[in-house]
Amino acid sequence: AQKVTQAQTEISVVEKEDVTLDCVYETRDTTYYLFWYKQPPSGELVFLIRRNSFDEQNEISGRYSWNFQKSTSSFNFTITASQVVDSAVYFCALSEALTGTASKLTFGTGTRLQVTL
């Protein structure tokens, strides 16, 4: 069975600091998808990124970057120069291709990020 582990329950940083959120996953499937979602205090789930298991290229989107390493089953998320608006709970999620959809998600427990001035 698949599993996603986010060992960091809560992280507090001061604005402009860089912060990395860790995600480790387990799956027996050879084809799978990894995701990060953001849940701000308003409660909605906001999609950030999807990565399939055959694409290990790191990705950068503005202040956000993601490091996918199959060798360590990790998909870490870094926010550079954090801002107060980044304060939220961040979820890592996994979906196995055998399910026929990328939206049947197994979520990690989430990491609460608090950015202060």
Partner 1 sequence: DAGVIQSPRHEVTEMGQEVTLRCKPISGHNSLFWYRQTMMRGLELLIYFNNNVPIDDSGMPEDRFSAKMPNASFSTLKIQPSEPRDSAVYFCASGEGYTEAFFGQGTRLTVV
Site residues, partner 1 (CB under 8 A): 33, 35, 37, 43-45, 47, 50, 52, 91, 97, 99-110
Distances 8 to 5, 18, 70, 78, 98 between C-alpha atoms, Å: 9, 15, 20, 13, 29
With a CB cutoff of 8 Å and minimum separation 6, the contacts of 108 are 4, 5, 6, 23, 91, 92, 93
For the bound state, the minimum distance from the C-beta of residue 73 to partner 1, rounded and expressed in Å, comes to 20
The residue among 43 and 62 lying less far from partner 1, judged by its C-beta, is 43
The residue among 1 and 117 lying less far from partner 1, judged by its C-beta, is 1
The residue among 62 and 100 lying less far from partner 1, judged by its C-beta, is 100
For the bound state, the minimum distance from the C-beta of residue 25 to partner 1, rounded and expressed in Å, comes to 15
For the bound state, the minimum distance from the C-beta of residue 31 to partner 1, rounded and expressed in Å, comes to 9
The residue among 40 and 72 lying less far from partner 1, judged by its C-beta, is 40
Phi, psi dihedral angles at 86 (to 5 degrees): -80, -10
For the bound state, the minimum distance from the C-beta of residue 107 to partner 1, rounded and expressed in Å, comes to 4
CB 39 within 8 A of CB 59: no
β-strand partners of 5: 24
